Amino acid sequence: MFGYYRVASAVNRTVVGNPTKNAKEVLRLIKEANSKEVSVIVFPELTLTGYTASDLLLNQTLIASQDEALSYILENTIDINTIAILGIALLDVDRLYNCAVVIQNAKVLGVVPKSYLPNKKEFYEKRQFVSGRDIVRSMIEVVDSEVPFGVDLLFKDNRDMTFGVEICEDLWAITPPSNHMASNGANLLFNLSASNELIGKYEYREELVRTQSGRCMATYVYSSAGVGESTTDTVFGGHAIISEYGSTLAQNKRFCMDSHFIMADVDLQRLRWLRLNESSYCDSRRKKVRTIKVGNLPTLTKIDREINSMPFVPSQYADKKSRCDEIVHIQAHGLIKRMKHTHIKKAVIGISGGLDSTLALLSTHRAFEMRGWDIENIIAITMPGFGTTTRTKSNAIELCNALGVTLKSVDITDISLKEFEAIEHNRDEHSVTYENVQARARTSILMNMANKIGGLVIGTGDLSEIALGWSTYNGDHMSMYALNSGIPKTLIQYVIEYYKSNEKIAHIIDDILATPISPELLPHKDNEIVQETESIVGPYELHDFFLYHFIKYGAKPSKILYLAVMAFDSKYDKESIKKWLHLFLKRFFTQQFKRSCMPDGPKVGTISLSPRAEWKMASDVDFEIWLKALEQ
């Protein structure tokens, strides 16, 4: 479903040296996973014998019992579509290999040997096993069948899933086999492990899994041996981890006395397209691999995963001060470089009392503070017009006075009336012309003031407005440095809240955040805003969500709609979301011409619509197929 797959990491209660008992417990978990629509479930290393069987793995009786146990599992999984990855010891050419066997519907799909054998301190695998890292293009007999055998195996369905398998120490190696698997298309990686518990080791283990998932731009599913393994000299806690592209989605509680598994729904379609859109993944070297086609997987009827409704806003676990400091520093240093390069000492900025101009002013102020420049060289200009309310004007003036910048006021009413007269426009006709005349009048004042005093005009338009083309061409669309161009509206609100730590302006910021977003270009009524942007173009939180998924990995409109319905379930109904997504797509394509000539500005997050920094698109693309895709 939309590239989502349910994967699981199991930790079965092990009886060392008794494959029959272990097989029954493993089979129970496989059946339970299948009932829960799990596509693939992975078990710990040497699942059927127990990792700590040690030298008994060289005993004929144990190996024969293991093979019987595997046959028992196969015989009882003929109707099980869930793929299971089990750890077994296999003989080939009079050598014993520590392997992962991949099974589905009573068949062995392939066998992957362990490449790196630990042979230090409490680990001594070279006593029993031989490394399989050089085995490619080979076959091996398993339960009377010849099956593919080697480290060159990948397993693939007919949609978005390609997975590879490595075993325990392989992940800890300088160059893990999973690196090569990922470079050959594996977006799902599994690890069967037997990692013992030492003080603090679980933290490093989780970090290792998480960072490997990020490096490989993949999902990494890890299962380690648990309770039931021998505690003769070391203890195994049974660590299960599922990480996706640098983030841990699920992790169990170690030292659980009972068999269990953890699950997560992972977006493999997203990972595939992220590889195209970001990083140097496509430059990685490909090797010859054998791809094994898997059978039909359990049908995922509903995605069980929290979808972040604010993808641009740092998570609740992030340190807000640290994140906001970083954002403001990117803005500030971008502006500092531009002003130093142009030998300009004054900044000119239009202040409306709205979110965007507030952040631009605060970040400009921070840049001047960082360089020790005279704050009075920030020239803030309020430009009240037909729709300006007392509330927004007062907030703008109060903020400027609190910051100590130079404040000027230029009423654009008379200028706009003269422009109406010049172009023969009826002042009572409140059309787009009526609005754009005012917007261009304000930009003209800013540009002319900058020329007069030798200043730099700071743009205030944000990434959300740029995506929608919600600006007047050659009006607020234009500036000499677009300071907010890399920051979407939802993130602007987040950063402005951070400035409330300054007690002098905290109450002003509170009111600015509570003020409806408006260009204030239509006449107000009883000093109240009558033109609310979000009632015209839709909620910015929705548009930021659409923008993220559309640009980040090129998601289809139907998938964006599905995810948005999940993310905003209690706030917007499906039809409302669909209406605003339709508008987003239409405006995004038709307004590209504004982005093609937008001014310079700093990229702040992973998404930018600058034609120089990131987004390159023709201004006259037909968008019909995207609207059709919304209906699919």
Average confidence score pLDDT of the chain: 96
List, by residue number, the catalytic residues.
Answer: 45, 114, 168
pLDDT digits (tens, 9 = 90+) for 65-124: 999 999 999 999 999 999 999 999 999 999 999 999 999 999 999 999 999 999 998 899
Within a domain: 563: yes
Give yes or no: residues 463 and 515 share one domain.
Answer: yes
- Determine the average pLDDT of the residues in 28-44: 98
pLDDT given at position 573: 96
Q: How confident is the model at residue 317 (pLDDT cuts 50, 70, 90)?
A: low
Residue 285: predicted pLDDT = 87
- Tell me, yes or no, whether 384 lies in a domain: yes
Q: What is the pLDDT of residues 515-539, one digit of tens each?
A: 999 999 999 988 999 899 999 999 9
Is residue 473 situated within a structural domain?
Answer: yes
Q: Are residues 99 and 209 in the same domain?
A: yes
User: Which range of residues forms the domain containing residue 75?
Assistant: 7-293
CATH number at residue 502: 3.40.50.620
pLDDT at 11: 98
Indicate if 288 and 337 belong to the same structural domain: no
Residues 76 and 168 in one domain: yes
> pLDDT per residue over 235-269, tens digit each?
999 999 999 999 999 999 999 999 999 999 999 99
pLDDT tens for 560-603 read: 999 999 999 989 999 999 999 999 999 999 999 999 999 999 99
Among 79-93, 205-219, 521-535, 544-558, name the one with the lowest average pLDDT. Answer: 521-535
Q: Is residue 275 a part of any domain in this protein?
A: yes
Express each pLDDT in 50-77 by its tens digit: 999 999 999 999 999 999 999 999 999 9
How far is CA 269 from its chain centroid?
13
- Asked whether residue 343 is domain-assigned, the answer is yes
524 in a structural domain: yes
Residues 510 and 574 grouped into a single domain: yes
Q: Given this model, what pLDDT does residue 58 score?
A: 96
Q: Does residue 7 register a pLDDT over 90? A: yes
Looking at residue 411, its pLDDT comes to 97
pLDDT by residue (tens digit) across 111-160? 999 999 999 988 999 999 999 999 999 999 999 899 999 999 999 999 99
Question: 69 and 169: one domain?
Answer: yes
In this structure, the answer to whether residues 61 and 162 fall within a common structural domain is yes
Is pLDDT at 222 greater than 90 in this prediction?
A: yes
Q: Is the same domain home to 241 and 339?
A: no
Q: Are 42 and 171 found together in one domain?
A: yes
The 3-class secondary structure across 495-537, one letter per residue, is HHHHHHHCCCCHHHHHHHHHCCCCCCCCCCECCECCCCHHHHH
Tally of domains in the chain: 2
* 2 in any annotated domain: no
Query: How many other CB atoms are there within 10 angstroms of residue 468's CB atom?
Result: 23
Element (H, E) at 216: none
What's the pLDDT band for 319 if we cut at 50, 70, 90? confident
Instruction: Please check whether residues 490 and 393 belong to one and the same domain.
Output: yes
Q: What is the pLDDT of residues 597-627, one digit of tens each?
A: 999 999 999 999 999 989 999 999 999 999 9
d(CA 460, CA 350): 8
What CATH number is given to the structural domain containing 241?
3.60.110.10
48, 390, 523 from 526: Cα distances, Å: 78, 10, 10
Same domain (yes/no): 170, 273: yes
Residue 307 lies in a domain: no
C-alpha span between 127 and 519 (Å, rounded): 75
- pLDDT at position 255 is 95
pTM of the entire predicted model: 0.94
- Burial-class residue 282 by CB neighbours within 10 Å (0-12, 13-18, 19+): exposed
Residue 219 shares a structural domain with residue 368: no
